[in-house]
Structure 1
């Protein structure tokens, strides 16, 4: 029996392919760099983060992959993020392919670029530059047919005021030129079709789609046809997977794939959420760490990597501060890692350098520019405070009783403790009390960090310029021993050596 979720935390829109006894899994990364995460497993249980598809700034720009709060008719707010969404991974004739959408905001409109990217050696973390093809939509997928023809499927955006339908294109995989295309939606969608994939088995073409939107009505449906162009006949038992209207622990199930293992057993892989994390803590899996391939493969930056390598040694990070804040839509000086467990502790030691009086630095839990909470220290005033922002709910609060670090203290230890209920922020310094106990600065309710959104939480270190200067400084904020500790594991996870 599998331990679900197989990849916990921020891992949306999964796609999988089996090659030579190894399963390779790709997930969305949105506005974070590096983009499109690749995991590998030999048993569908233990997964290793082996690389990232977009790992060079020259491949594409994520600068305009912004986040927007969109009021809904039911009174809720949807937080929509741009960037790299819904990748599909496939293998054909010695080459791995990723097909993906880059959504970004330009002037007053959202723009959509679809592309595929390829590599001969998926373990090398060396991928080609994107090859773009004409398709105004999202969630593209690839089908390599038996006769050598290649087809792209996706959710076609008829216009901004209509729900997407499903279309298929035949195109040349070398030139990315479209040969022909047709709308293949088998029936009117409930609330838009997402994540369409076509599979061929025993002479039939099977079209798997997600319907009902991304949230509580999310579901998987399937249809089939003898011709790849259709018409597709819906399965009479649709939806084949849905949690809507149930009290199941896992909810919002959709955007998935069906696939076979080497024993020809069928599996379904899909995105989902946990409805009420407080009722089943004992069901949260212990995520066995089996090692990583590339140093710092799990490190994340906003939109693009820093100009200079932040690692001075394997345990020392130096972030050159920026005048932009954590709320800036185009990013700031921030290095994070995905939160994988509901019970996680992130710690880092900040070195207080009096030569950098205009800097504020610290530790943050970061969802996006609209939602983040941090514990930080102003180098000039030596004041420790907690800052919480939720722009869509108009919260922008700093802890009312900030703490001051005594003169002479050169290092401050910072901590964020995550639990199913929320996040607690604390600090300590050497010589602070008999047992050097942690002093709590504040807490944030976990519900305040959530919304109808597409991304997960990250934890990491940041550095900001408070003097408003734009000229790059020669020194940055120095952090030592930035690491995670998962309450479900005996070892440190998410540390700088991963």
Structure 2
């Protein structure tokens, strides 16, 4: 079996894997986007198919308080910390036949600190895309994970308390009710790196191994491990920690961490981790899912190989397929889905009064993850003959960072805009076009280096309106680029009609 990375390209952080029979299932974080927690399936760990989303009904939970905070760092940069659905863990229980996902919805109440809402969802058939409503449990932390002991007892471990010096806590729980069946116990504080988080417990050769992430989720990210002869500890740290990191290297794939380990049918060990393709100050794609080979001899400690990919690597698996049309569409937070109609190649958006530059009100936007470093996206917008509106094509990360090309009916102009509040970037340009035209074709060409925004008022005549260096949208953050269409208007029931949306995702 050959590792071809990233296995899930684009916006795919915090991977977790479980195996059911001969099929592997992977889940990722989604933060402020709906539907949440995508589920991918693979039989060979190379080719992955999107089979559903565990949070696929707005009635399951609300993402309203998942705004993005600007957090200045000591080095003068600004981290963008988005709320919503943090690192999930997926586990299958062969005894009950149920598959569980345990997760945190991080709320950002106004004028208050983070409020984590931890929950468990389950399904009897992972292929059905039918997941339960959340069962909430009391835990003041994030990144929960599930373990079962030999006696059938189920345990939850997670990263407890506010950062940066969090601790790893463990308690017995009833997964059907969320009720704690034991006192919460601190079982490890890590090796001294900041933000000990993302814990997973594995039992092997009669010992319990606790795998965690430390050092923060960026350039100092690392994986460390400890073990004990009792699930409740005490845990002894491995003397050769960390077992995975790109810190202090010039690797193209950096920030590797937040790992989950698993075995294939032949007994080989693997790890899935997040990583970022970084070239200088450019890492526009954000955190993606990578596969690493593992080694775990009897009685020994687990080891993980380095993610070895260079900037000239030809990626075989750039496109992730879906089992049915529509699974890969994404909306922002608690969108009004009645205002989004997708019929074949036509998208109709009832324009929202609120723009994507804010988070408090729903916005009319639908898009798909950018999966490839190089490609194009385009759409044809029917020009409105009445009212005042703005509608077009956008690369969106959060309310602080986006770049777009759109038609402003009030000015009868095609406009280009790039915004990154964390870097104090804000540019805009426009060109008048004839309001006699029936439509305008909007285009984005993207590479590792730059984003080029173009339009065609008449077929075959392409004009460039704006160019963005991808470094301008690269930040320490949690999310990745989503390419889609949006519509904004002060007028009630103003509709934007898009046709032939094309995006190589």
Instruction: Establish whether TM, by shorter chain, passes 0.5.
Output: yes
Unaligned runs of 5+ in 2: 283-308
The answer to whether 1:439 aligns with 2:463 is yes
Q: Which moved more, 1:375-384 or 1:55-64?
A: 375-384
Q: Distance in 2 between matches of 1:407 and 1:209?
A: 58
Alpha-carbon distance between aligned partners in 2 of 1:348 and 1:270, rounded to the nearest angstrom: 34
Structure 1 counterpart of 2:296: none
Query: Are residues 1:184 and 2:214 paired?
Result: no
Other structure's SS at 2:337 match? coil
Q: SS state of the match for residue 482, structure 1?
A: strand
Q: Which residue does 1:363 correspond to in 2?
A: 393
1:152/1:170 contact within 8 Å kept: yes
CA pair 253-288 structure 1, distance change in 2 beyond 3 A: closer
| 1:86 aligned counterpart, secondary structure | coil
Q: Alpha-carbon deviation of 1:124?
A: 1.4
Checking the alignment, whether the CA contact within 8 Å between 2:379 and 2:501 is kept in structure 1 is yes
CA gap of 1:231–1:283, structure 2 versus 1, over 3 A, is same
Question: What's the CA shift for 1:312?
Answer: 4.9
1:248 counterpart (236, 239, 251)? 251
Q: Which residue of 2 aligns with 1:491?
A: none
Separation (CA, whole Å) in 2 of partners of 1:207 and 1:311: 46
State the match for 1:217 in structure 2.
220
2:171 alignment partner, one of 152, 169, 192: 169
Whole-angstrom CA distance in 2 between matches of 1:216 and 1:381: 45
8 Å CA contact 2:319–2:371 kept in 1: the answer is no
Equivalent in the alignment of 2:485: 461
User: 387-396 or 107-116, which moves further after superposition?
Assistant: 387-396
Maintained 8 Å contact 2:339/2:364 = no
Cα distance in 2, alignment partners of residues 171 and 245 from structure 1: 40
Change (3 A) 1:62 1:313: same
TM-score by length of 1: 0.92
Please state how far the C-alpha of 1:304 moved relative to its aligned partner.
2.5
Q: Which residue of 2 aligns with 1:154?
A: 158
Give yes or no for the alignment of 1:450 onto 2:450.
no
Unpaired runs of 5+ residues, structure 1, are 486-493
CA distance in 2 between partners of 1:70 and 1:290 (Å): 33
Distance 1:56 1:83 in 2: 15
* Structure 2 counterpart of 1:381, from 399, 411, 428: 411
Name the structure 2 match of 1:197.
200
Instruction: Using the TM superposition, name which of 387-396 and 127-136 deviates more.
Output: 387-396
Distance 1:9-1:307 versus aligned 2 partners, 3 A rule: closer
How many Å separate the matches in 2 of 1:368 and 1:149?
41
Q: TM-score, normalised by structure 2?
A: 0.90
- 2:74 and 2:321 mapped to 1: Cα distance? 46
Q: 1:187 to 1:57 in 2, by over 3 A?
A: closer
Contact map agreement 2:191 2:237 (CA 8 A) in 1:
no
Pairing partner for 2:364 from 314, 333, 340: 333
Is residue 142 of structure 2 the alignment partner of residue 111 of structure 1?
no
Aligned residues: 472
Find out whether 1:476 has 2:476 as its counterpart.
no
Name the counterpart of 1:489: none
Partners of 2:173 and 2:77 in 1: CA distance: 40
Q: Structure 2: how far apart are the matches of 1:16 and 1:376?
A: 40
Give the direction of change, closer, same or farther, for the CA distance of 1:177–1:312 in structure 2 (3 Å limit): closer
